[in-house]
Amino acid sequence: MNPEVRGRKPEAGKGGMGLIPQKEKLPTEALEFLEFLISRGRKSSTIRRYAYDLADFYSFAAIHADRKVTNLHPVEAIILEDYFTYLMETRAYNRKTTKRIAAVLRRYFLFLSQTHGHTTTNLMRNVQLPPAADEAISKDDLLTQNDLTRLFQSLDSDLGLSEEQRQARPLLAPRNKAMIQLLLHHGLRLQELHSLSLDDVNFGTGTISISPTDSEVQARVLRLSKSDRRDLNRYIKVIPKPVRPYPGERHPLFVAFDFQKQTYRWSYENDEPKRLTIVAMQKMIREEARRAGLPPGKSARHFRHTYIVSALRRGHSLEAIQETLGLHSPLVLFRYQDYVNEHT
């Protein structure tokens, strides 16, 4: 046991609590951890940074788990993995910032494992950060043809589902399939998929307009395949009319689902169908991959990696792929070309 922690279980609410921001967003055990750091003489700037990092993580975890995550409802390792994927792929945090946040959470969960007993090991111990943009591509970053065959067969079936899930499947399967096809066939980033509105899809011309979600990419118009158009149209039509997105309103393309009511959700605050969150998209991909029996850890980036490598193997140039993905430069694609050269 870490000698700094042995024999000590700090009590929240004493001494340095005035130094801690975001207190209302933190569970008791997180406040105890920060109190422990204060008792060890950590600088107020360090305490503030740790408090904001922990509050941000718990805010993400609450959305992910659909409940408040506390000592009584412990964090699961998969939430940590999704959180770092979210930081790097959605917020576009650089590797240095992500590693700093990982160090904070690593120390926090070590503290919990040694003082609270609700987890026997440091949950961060085996969490792998997503690869940085300049790291070499490996076969583990890709989906095989066998993986994809199993995934699409599973999407069209209800094997392994609960009774509640089976009832919802006719409504949900078309949405999930349409989302996965856009990721796989066009290499979209998850935040691009999330930001799509129904007005971005032109069923007449068979195109979809992708607007930039940050400075990393440019706007572009992509041509949909017949299967893309068919499955998007099928998904829209299975949504009940009262909660269906309609053109001309900038309604979200992908809508959240309410399992209790067995229908798609409406946002009364925005007076439109409720947009599916990025966290829910991550969860959907993970669940569909698990049900198909794919190796654990699959996410949207695996579809993007697979798209790029497949395009290169079909003879597409780096410049053509750059245009499809809306990249400012083909430099980030060199590692994919290196992989293809090495494995062809």
Q: What confidence tens digit (pLDDT) does each residue in 283-302 have? A: 899 999 999 999 888 889 99
Position 124 confidence tier, pLDDT thresholds 50, 70, 90:
confident
Residue ranges per structural domain of the chain? 15-115, 139-342
pLDDT confidence of residue 120: 57
CA distances from 11 to 39, 109, 201, 259 (A): 11, 17, 55, 40
CATH superfamily of 139-342: Intergrase catalytic core (1.10.443.10)
If phi > 0 it is left, if psi is from -120 to 50 it is alpha, else beta; for residue 117 that is: left
Position 66 confidence tier, pLDDT thresholds 50, 70, 90:
low
pLDDT confidence of residue 6: 43
Average pLDDT estimate for 270-274: 96
Average pLDDT value for the chain:
86
CA 162/CA 157 separation, integer angstroms: 13
pLDDT confidence of residue 12: 40
